[in-house]
Amino acid sequence: MIFKRQILFFISFVFAQVAIAQDGSTIRASVDKKKILIGEPIQLTIETYLSPAAGKKFPVIDTIEHFDFIGEPIIDTADKNGSRSFKGIYKITSFDSGHWVIPSFTLSQDVKTDTIPIDVVFSEFDPNQEYHDIKDILEVKSSKKKTEWWWYVAGGVLLLALLLLYLRRRKKHEPVAVPKIMISPYEEAMKQLEQLQRNKPEAKQYHSVLTDIFRLYIFRKNGILSLQKTTDDLVIQLKSLNLAKEQFDKLSQSLRLSDFVKFAKYIPTNEDDKICFEEIKKSIIILEQSNSGSPSIGVS
């Protein structure tokens, strides 16, 4: 019985492939991973072959529900004997946890891809790990040390010296204290961004300094304890700043992308560096405007 089912499945599979290729065109979609953490990038590849008689164009892909695009896609084309081949590589990610499906991409009623399921999850933790209770404050017994007589002599000499020094300085005019000029969080962030852009280091250091500038700004400006937080925890805290959803999504993508670069999980392009810099700078300007009006300086 099992053997018969396998034969029927094989026959139906062959007929399905023939039906897809009857007009000479094919399309295939694939991803490099089907389970990701929130904000982790995926590479979606769409490959299409169009026969000379097909007369179709490469499908335009600009939105996928529950997913966001990272940067511009890479599209390669090739012409041979009147036929055309297209290959599109898209970087996408998702900030919605759950089980989502990349839909089918269609050239015609018979030529289309299968849907692709993607699981978007939070960082895993071990629920069986033991929890450590908070310990009570331990009382430390003070140890009595033997006091030598010369301690009193030394103390008396020190007090006499301090008294003489006080009387001597009392006769002199105290210097006028020069007030320390405090730079605002916004001015400090803009100057650091300008310096980073002018003296651009290698990729890992560039993205590390870029995110540190943003973390320090929101710590000084909004009091958010961001310096020791993970990027995931920081993104959760940023929701309290009431940024517009589009800007919040772009800022979150930039912070996560910089995180992957810092930990050598991703090699950025010059376009990636530019996008991360512009989105973090734009977020600082928007936050400054919402808190204290229009900023007084900027970075070109």
- What is the reported pLDDT for 141? 67
**What are the b/e assignments for 56-66, b being 16+ CB within 10 Å?**
eebeebeebeb
Average pLDDT over residues 246-257: 87
> Average pLDDT over the chain, rounded to whole?
78
Give the residue numbers spanning the domain of 55: 24-121
* Identity of the residue numbered 241: L
Q: Write down which residue in 104, 121, 138 finishes a domain.
A: 121
DSSP string spanning 275-288?
Answer: HHHHHHHHHHHHHH
Do residue 111 and residue 206 come from a single domain? no
Task: Give the pLDDT confidence of 44-89 residue by residue, as tens digits.
Answer: 999 988 877 666 566 678 889 999 999 899 988 888 777 888 899 9
CATH code for position 43:
2.60.40
Pull the structure tokens for residue 256.
């996560």
Residue 38 placed within a domain: yes
> Is residue 261 within 8 Å of residue 203, measured between CB atoms?
yes
Token pair of 114, please?
């299968």
Domain membership of residue 256 (yes or no) is yes
Q: Is the same domain home to 105 and 196?
A: no
pLDDT in tens, 68-79: 999 899 988 888
The two beta strands, 98-102 and 74-80, are: unpaired
Q: Which of 102, 121, 140 is the last residue of a domain?
A: 121
How high is the pLDDT of residue 217? 86
**How many domains is the chain partitioned into structurally?**
2
pLDDT digits (tens, 9 = 90+) for 186-244: 999 899 999 988 988 998 898 889 888 988 888 888 887 777 778 888 888 888 887 88
Is residue 283 located within the same domain as residue 195?
yes
How many Å is the maximal CA-CA distance in the chain?
111
Sheet holding 98-102, edge to edge: 35-37, 116-121, 98-102
Tell me how far apart the alpha carbons of residues 138 and 136 are, in angstroms, rounded to a whole number.
6
* Residue 108 covered by a domain: yes
